[in-house]
Amino acid sequence: MNTGTRRLVSAGPAGAIETAIDGPEAGARGVAVLCHPHPLHGGTMDNKVVQTLARAFVQLGWRAVRFNFRGIGASAGTWDAGRGEVDDALAVIAAHRDPALPLVLGGFSFGGYVATQAAARTEGVERLVLIAPAVVNFPAAPVSQQTLVVHGEADDVVPLAAVLDWARPQAVPVTVIPGAGHFFHGQLPLLKQLIVGAWHRQDP
């Protein structure tokens, strides 16, 4: 993401997990573990939306942890239809969370699905940030009403209507960016602003 990105290897259930960390090594306000889009459709931890998530948390003073799912980049293993990828996320969370700091999970598209499932299996997650979460082809877990969900009005990969249908029974608000597609082309600065603003509004 920048010259200050620290790249390392985390241990995972399928072998090594390529990991990148941005933000302060000491004095961080929290830790955000961020999940990338579908591995079979070009998704990596360097995806622009995932990097935008990381930049938002770094601006907030958090430590942002990105990683490549199994079989992507330098991560060992092969695609596991979403099951093993949740296990990868859990391994990264276990390796990089700080019990003294708040923990947030975030994800874009397929990574949003993974984040919901990982949160359901992890104690102490303060909040979720889901960007265009894949709720159609994968069983996204229920989330709290504190979850930040951002979706594009013109998303042709995960239709807005599907996300609203998923969010409605849970009374989870959805922030819609007018005219934005799945990858938020030309809207990434606004996306970052929405994330940062949501955190400022909840700060005491």
Query: What are the distances in angstroms from CA 3 to CA 20, 21, 23, 106?
Result: 12, 11, 11, 23
Query: Residue 164: what residue type?
Result: L
| CATH number (domain holding residue 192) | 3.40.50.1820
Q: Is residue 1 situated within a structural domain?
A: no
Q: Is residue 58 situated within a structural domain?
A: yes
Neighbours of 14 (CB within 10 A): 18
Determine the pLDDT at residue 120.
98
Residue 55 sits in which domain range? 6-202
CB of 178 closer than 8 Å to CB of 191:
no
Count: domains in the chain: 1
Structure pTM?
Answer: 0.96
pLDDT digits (tens, 9 = 90+) for 104-133: 999 999 999 999 999 999 999 999 999 999
**pLDDT tens string for the chain (204 positions)?**
666 899 999 999 999 999 999 999 999 999 999 999 999 999 999 999 999 999 999 999 999 999 999 999 999 999 999 999 999 999 999 999 999 999 999 999 999 999 999 999 999 999 999 999 999 989 999 999 999 999 999 999 999 999 999 999 999 999 999 999 999 999 999 999 999 999 876 654
Three-state secondary structure call for residue 100? coil
Distance CA 138, CA 122 (A): 19
